[in-house]
Amino acid sequence: MPRRERKAPYNGGNGLPIREEVLARFDETVITRNSYGARCLNTPGVLCADIDFPEAPSWRMVRNTTLLLLAAVTAAVYLSAAAGAAPRSLWITGVIGTLASLWLASTLAKLVHRKLVGARGGPEAIARARVLRFMRTRPDWLLHVYRTPAGLRLLATHRLFDPREPEVAACFQALGADPMYVAMCLNQHCFRARLTAKPWRIGLQERLRPRPGIWPVSPERMPQRRAWLERYDRAAAGFAACRFVESLGNGVSVPAAQVVRQLHDELSQARSGLPIA
């Protein structure tokens, strides 16, 4: 067995306790600072999840497919040239053709994706339709919807939840929650929501110092961390992490969940009218 717990940031999947600086506690709700400097709300009982908008086919997927094709073309041409069946210059032609195919495949994939998403009303409309389908089967829920830079955030306040219960798993699956976030909820027995902006969205290209931004930090490096956080907090004050959109369902908020939601809205500046980041 290891002599002490491995120091690692929150990544949702490794089952280790979240290693972040605790900034404040409100009963069972804890506010922490994550590894890139943002404040996060951690709650054991108020179901919340972010849903990302549909993305275009990833560059990685197109790249990996093309690399496989390139390897196959290279092998085929090399073997053919070695056997005297074709000149070695054919290899260059094959490489150029494969790279051209990569560009064409990527361009076409993105174009088709934009057309399909546009035909369905755009990314936000698609995500909201998914939420509405889910709520049609649960009219007794009360779900609060927020807009984030990359999608929607949902908070349920009609009752408290255990992250490990089947209803939570069904909710996450139906809404398309991020698999890493789902794993975090199971491993850490809590839900989580970012409360302040991501640094790179508000003009801070330099990451949290010292690197990596894992807590705890040695005393001699704390001045470096504090200096970065002062810059970050000043910049983040002009942005909201999300914006409240609407409440769905016929349920009534239970007091404990409503307190957490009010805390979330205040600290994320969800009703401030500020740009989201």
Query: Could you give the CA distance from residue 241 to residue 127 in angstroms, rounded to a whole number?
Result: 18
Query: Could you give the CA distance from residue 126 to residue 141 in angstroms, rounded to a whole number?
Result: 21
Cis status of the peptide bond prior to 216, with omega within 30 of 0: yes
Q: Which residues pair with 49 in a beta bridge?
A: 154
What does the pLDDT read at residue 3?
A: 40
What does the pLDDT read at residue 4?
A: 40
What does the pLDDT read at residue 78?
A: 61
Query: Could you give the CA distance from residue 266 to residue 195 in angstroms, rounded to a whole number?
Result: 9
- Contact in structure between 146 and 270 (CB atoms under 8 Å): yes
- Contact in structure between 243 and 151 (CB atoms under 8 Å): no
* Cβ atoms within 10 Å, residue 120: 11
For helices 59-82 and 89-119, angle between their N-to-C axes, nearest 10 degrees: 160
- Tokens for 190, please give them: 């809590």
Sequence letter at residue 180: M
pTM: 0.75
Report CA-CA distances (Å) from 72 to 67, 96, 123, 161: 9, 14, 37, 51
Q: Which residues pair with 246 in a beta bridge?
A: 145
What does the pLDDT read at residue 71?
A: 66
What does the pLDDT read at residue 77?
A: 59
The burial of 83, by beta-carbon neighbours within 10 Å (0-12 exposed, 13-18 middle, 19 or more buried), is given as exposed
What residue ranges of the chain have pLDDT lower than 50?
A: 1-10, 12-13, 57, 113, 117
pLDDT (tens digit per residue) in 73-124: 666 656 666 666 555 565 566 666 666 666 665 565 555 545 554 555 578 8
